[in-house]
Amino acid sequence: MQNENVELYKKAIKGSDYYYLVIHQQNFPPSVVCEPKSIFRATNKQPKLLNIIMFKTSIRTAAPRTFSPLRFTHNSQYFKRLQSSYSKIKKISNIEEYNKQLGSTNLSVFDFYATWCGPCKAMAPHLSKMVETYSEPKKVNFFKIDIDENPEIARAANITAVPTFVLNKNNQNVDTIVGADPNKLQKSIDSNA
């Protein structure tokens, strides 16, 4: 993202009465990164386009971008909420719990996801299989973090797109995988477990 765009969003977000809708490209294949496409300001009439940003749904791995200026709303016609099917993975719900898990001596896989993200939903069955494969004997810990419920954790981990998988061991980030790529994730787990 260009610096002038970053400054534009930082300035716009400062007003507490502003609320933003993020429009996502629909019907994407499961091997892509889910990123915001455009930012709108909610109004009484038509939503007003503030600016088209460089986030997009893409097949390639996302480059680092800014996350914190965005605020999401889910009571909008623009979002279709998806329920997670991988209930065996422990859900982290606060930054204290996240920081505690970072210190594990075993490899920890943190799945940063959003319920509206199609590629995140597509990864759920693959993650369920990985939990069964790698959890016994207890050599790999799996955690999931909803970025909308935990934006402070997403900011701390520099998450700019979902799904993002952060692999951590002994408080060290050993790998970060952006996008729905189960083969790449499995190879990384195999090499770092």
Indicate which residues carry an active-site annotation: 117, 120
Nearest to 116 by CA among 155, 142, 160, 84: 84
Q: Which residues contact 96 (CB under 8 A, 6 or more apart)?
A: none
**Alpha-carbon gap, residue 63 to 174, rounded angstroms:** 18
Q: 81 exposed, middle or buried (CB, 10 Å; 0-12, 13-18, 19+)?
A: exposed
3-class DSSP assignment, residue 149: coil
